[in-house]
Amino acid sequence: MDIRNIYCVGRNYALHAQELGNDVPEEPMIFSKPTHALHPAVGELRLPSGIGEIHYEAELVVRIGRTYESGMTADQVVDGLAIGIDWTARDVQTVLKEKRHPWLLAKGFKNSAVLSAFQPFPGAAAFQELTFSLLNNGAEVQSGSPRDMIFPLERLISYIGDTFGLAAGDIIYTGTPAGVGGVKDGDELTLILNGERFGPLRVSL
């Protein structure tokens, strides 16, 4: 299935919002990336250089399998589960925030949406109990579970579906836990979703 819209949720884990000095939002904070940002979760990953820190944000990703209609549940519309990285040009983002400009330049550059293969969606109840993590050069730098999401999957589906629309091929990056950080040329990243490893990704800056 071709991927269509790429939605991302900002500040969906309280400890991550805190680590960047942001308030916890009162309703979901949604942004999107161009499909040109997609890159598989293995192989060489070229990231932009000369624009300051580029941070990893490991996130669970869900795929929509049918057209959303108001009131539908996650179990009715979600058909796939993956893990990915919402790459963020953090210094660029800081300037954009100060200027109150859109985040596209900091979040939507080429290769900024790393995505593993999809597996069948296990259901909203099982999704809630998943664990995921990110290793950088073999050391765990992030770990999380949807248990700690501020806006649970059900709320994300209804909010995004009612506000922007959701249909087959759309995907949602559901937010990152604490521990985001920068990378350097040659770093090797591995994503882990419920014990299954994806990668390695070799960073080229």
Which of 55, 56, 57, 203 touches Mg ion (CB under 5 A)?
57
Range in contact with Mg ion (rule: CB under 5 A) among 24-32, 90-98, 144-152, 168-176: 168-176
**Amino acid making up residue 146:** P
Site for Mg ion in 11-30 (CB under 5 A): none
Q: Does 93 bind Mg ion (CB under 5 A)?
A: no
Q: Does 176 bind Mg ion (CB under 5 A)?
A: yes
Q: How far apart are CA 159 and CA 149, in angstroms?
A: 15
Site for Mg ion in 68-87 (CB under 5 A): 86
Q: Considering the complex, what minimum distance in angstroms separates the CB of residue 66 from Mg ion?
A: 25
Closest CB to Mg ion among residues 158, 176: 176
Closest CB to Mg ion among residues 86, 170: 86
Closest CB to Mg ion among residues 102, 186: 102
Dihedral sign computed on CA atoms, order 100, 14, 68, 87: positive
Closest CB to Mg ion among residues 57, 170: 57
Those residues with Cβ within 8 angstroms of residue 51's Cβ, 6 or more apart along the chain or in another chain: 89, 91, 92
Count of residues in contact with Mg ion, rule CB under 5 A: 3
Q: Does 174 bind Mg ion (CB under 5 A)?
A: no
Closest CB to Mg ion among residues 58, 192: 58
Q: Considering the complex, what minimum distance in angstroms separates the CB of residue 8 from Mg ion?
A: 6
Closest CB to Mg ion among residues 86, 187: 86
Q: Give the interface with Mg ion as residue ranges (CB under 5 A).
A: 57, 86, 176
